[in-house]
A and B are shown apart, each in its own frame.
Chain A
Amino acid sequence: MSTPGRPAPLHPSGSWTVGLRDRLSRTVPAGQALPDRQPAYVASWIYVFGVLTLAALVVVIATGLVLSIEGAVWWHISDTGRFVNSLHLWSVEVFFAVMVVHLWGKFWMAAWRGDRALTWITGVLCFVGSIGTAFTGYLSQSNFDSQWISGQAKDGLNAVGIGAFFNVLDPAQMLLWHVVLLPLVVGVVVLWHIVLVRRHGVVPPIDAPEPPITTAIPPTPEGVLS
């Protein structure tokens, strides 16, 4: 908006929106946010487990939302509720299994190479945050199992000296950690992890040459997947 008596600037280069837009556009190279081609070495099953982890996470979140809408009595008593509850549990089991295979694959290909240290670190944070979210899920079942687990957890956490910072015997606190705090943390870190993967590209095998970031995908079909 121009001020009366003052000519409008030719381009709003000084505005924060332009600065933010430029920063966002520089975060991921052009065409790499949702690429339709990948380097040839990505044609391996081991590169599938990252997106399998994301797919399982989508099911975890979707079933968790349904459980939060209907409530504890529904998931304990009704057939549909128990089915959705089982979907939530087993999607978490699949999530962790494929995430660990993804971790093994990235560890043995030293995926922190090529300025990807932060990608590796955010992956570790996703793993640790997911463990916390899963553990608070066990405490949120609202049954004898969650009571027993919370008692065992309290003993363990007190033994390592962090029992005063949060109370695993408080079902309300643990339920809020499980459905709000930790999913928010994991969600933000997962998004950060994905942006970093798209920013730096998929890590090549150790014996493969590293493609330049800005021209990670050659313009010709040679050596790429369509």
Chain B
Amino acid sequence: MQIIPQNIPLADPGGSYVNWSVFHISVTNVVIIAIMLVVFVLALVLPFPGHGDEDQR
């Protein structure tokens, strides 16, 4: 007997996931963490605006 019809949102598997060993994480969270890493690297390498010339401080 089918209790929950297939078109009910509760039966939705709810997104894509990355499975690697014991790690189980949604693709959305992987993308967010990757963006945070990119922001971190950019914060280290991009020059701070208005203070590029040491002599003008």
> Which positions in A face B, CB cutoff 8 Å?
40, 43-46, 48-49, 97, 100-101, 104-105, 221-226
Chain B minimum-CB-distance residue to A45: B43
In the complex, the answer to whether A40 meets B54 with C-beta atoms within 8 Å is yes
Contact size range, B = 10 to 19
> Which positions in B face A, CB cutoff 8 Å?
32, 36, 39-40, 42-44, 46, 48, 51, 54, 57
Q: Which of B40, B51, B54 makes the CB contact (< 8 A) with A105? A: B40
Q: Which of A40, A45, A100, A105 makes the CB contact (< 8 A) with B57? A: A40
Q: Which residues of B contact A223 (CB under 8 A)?
A: 57
Q: Supply 6 further A-B pairs (C-beta < 8 A) apart from A45-B42, A104-B40, A224-B57.
A: A45-B46, A49-B43, A97-B36, A97-B39, A101-B39, A225-B57
Chain B minimum-CB-distance residue to A223: B57
Q: Which residues of B contact A45 (CB under 8 A)?
A: 42-44, 46, 48
In the complex, the answer to whether A101 meets B40 with C-beta atoms within 8 Å is yes
Q: How far is the CB of A10 from chain B (nearest CB, A)?
A: 47
Q: Which residues of A contact B51 (CB under 8 A)?
A: 43, 225
A224 CA to B32 CA in the complex, in Å? 36
20 A–B pairs (Cβ distance < 8 Å), ordered by A = A43-B51, A44-B43, A44-B44, A45-B42, A45-B43, A45-B46, A45-B48, A46-B44, A48-B43, A97-B36, A97-B39, A100-B36, A101-B39, A101-B40, A101-B43, A104-B40, A105-B40, A221-B57, A222-B57, A225-B57
